[in-house]
A = this chain, B = another copy of it.
Amino acid sequence: MKLSDLGENRVVAALTRALALGADVRVGAGDDCAVIGRPRDARWQLLKTDAVIEGVHFLPDADPRRIGWKALCRALSDIAAMGGTPQHALITLAAPPSTDFARVRGIYAGLRKAARRFGVSIVGGETARSPGPLFLNVALTGTVERTRCILRSGGRAGDALYVTGHLGGSLAGRHLDFIPCLAEARWLTANFKIHAMMDLSDGLAADLPRLATASRCGFTLDESLLPKTKGCTPAQALADGEDYELLFALAPRAAAALEVAWKQHFPSLALTRIGSLITQSKTKNRQSKTPDGHDHFRQR
């Protein structure tokens, strides 16, 4: 059985099922970040690892600074999705010995630029030889107040579902330049009771079912409301991936106040109510119409 036969969700589920976790692990594999701390600690630690790979996440001729920016910002987007603040990063760079040093220096310049902007210290890393494509892995720590730590699993039937920004078409360029929604997520958790949140990396069609399943809910999605990037079809907005926007759920009674306050604080970033969480039994009828989103082991 090949990885491509199983698909990413089943591979990850099979690999992470048998993991034994210490008593200080609040959340292991399966959310945007791992969460470490004792149940009553005032703050918890967030841990994340994420890689970008030449030929998969960027093309060989991409601007090295934008590669570095993207690599760190992808992990930052996951810290944002937990409601956290990033702290320390470790970089693994594997490159062929024939790589021009200027390219590697450019990647590090992009990493440093993102680190500076979002208050991250790059505290180490490692370099290795790659016999194939360039690999760039970021391991990132963060911190979050226990009461503001938002999981994927906290959604409730009836919750309103929102996405930030516009979806689709990221591969035309935005995937190398996006701004992780750290400020937006911090503002959300400071001002509203967010039940569940995640960042959109594999496309709403892949990611929304993950949030709903983690919350033991189904969902409704009104495709006519999707905030599509200009020029994108609904199918692209659902399945392209690499949006790095936030998807979150909160009680519908908070929706009106949220929409008013959001417009004041983030006038240039769209916020769109796209559907609802519903009780799980209703799910299976609704979900089947959406396309699949990105699966790392199933090439399209």
Which A residues form the contact surface with B (CB < 8 A)? Answer: 1-6, 8, 11-12, 14-16, 18-22, 24-25, 27-31, 33-34, 36, 47-51, 53-57, 87-88, 90-92, 94-102, 104-105, 108, 112, 115-116, 119, 121-133, 135, 137, 139, 141, 296-299
Q: How far is the CA of A296 from the CA of B129 in the complex (A)?
A: 6
What 10 A-B pairs come out closest when comparing CB atoms? A132-B132, A139-B139, A34-B123, A4-B97, A49-B90, A29-B124, A34-B124, A55-B131, A22-B121, A137-B137
Query: Inside 8 A of A47's CB, which chain B residues have their CB?
Result: 88, 90, 123-124, 139, 141
Contacts of A137 in B (CB 8 A): 49, 51, 92, 135, 137, 139
Given contacts A19-B121, A51-B137, A139-B139, 19 further A-B contacts (CB under 8 A): A1-B101, A3-B99, A3-B127, A4-B98, A6-B101, A14-B101, A19-B122, A20-B115, A27-B123, A31-B124, A33-B124, A34-B123, A49-B91, A49-B92, A49-B139, A50-B126, A54-B131, A97-B298, A131-B132
Q: How far is the CA of A132 from the CA of B100 in the complex (A)?
A: 19
Q: Which residues of B contact A27 (CB under 8 A)?
A: 123
For residue A63, give the distance in angstroms from its CB to the closest CB of chain B. 18
CB pair B49 A94 closer than 8 Å:
no
What is the oligomeric copy number? 2
Give 23 CB contacts A-B under 8 Å: A1-B101, A3-B97, A11-B101, A14-B101, A19-B122, A21-B121, A33-B124, A34-B90, A36-B141, A47-B139, A48-B90, A49-B90, A49-B91, A51-B92, A51-B126, A53-B94, A54-B131, A90-B139, A127-B296, A128-B296, A130-B135, A132-B132, A132-B133
Least CB distance from A95 to B in Å reads 6
Q: In angstroms, how far is the closest chain B Cβ from the Cβ of A43?
A: 13
Give A141's nearest chain B residue, CB to CB: B47
Q: Are A14 and B49 in contact (CB under 8 A)?
A: no
Contact check, A121 vs B2: say whether CB atoms are below 8 A apart: no
**Alpha-carbon gap, A252 to B101, bound state (A):** 43
Our pick among B11, B22, B94, B102 for the contact of A104 (Cβ within 8 Å) is B11
Chain B CB count within 10 A is highest, among A3, A4, A95, for: A3
The CA of A119 and the CA of B78, in the complex, are separated in Å by 26
In the bound complex, do residue A53 and residue B100 qualify as a contact, i.e. CB atoms below 8 Å apart? no
Report the minimal beta-carbon distance from A116 to chain B, rounded to whole angstroms. Answer: 7
Task: Report Cα–Cα, A141/B24, bound state, in Å.
Answer: 13
**In whole angstroms, how far apart are the Cα atoms of A10 and B87 in the complex?**
27
Shortest CB distance A39–B (Å): 16
Q: Chain B CB within 10 Å — which of A6, A133, A135 has the most?
A: A135
Q: Chain B residues near A15: list those with CB within 8 A.
A: 104-105, 108, 127
Q: Which residues of B contact A4 (CB under 8 A)?
A: 97-98
A36 lies within 8 A of B88 (CB): yes
How distant is the Cα of A22 from the Cα of B100 in the complex, in angstroms?
A: 30
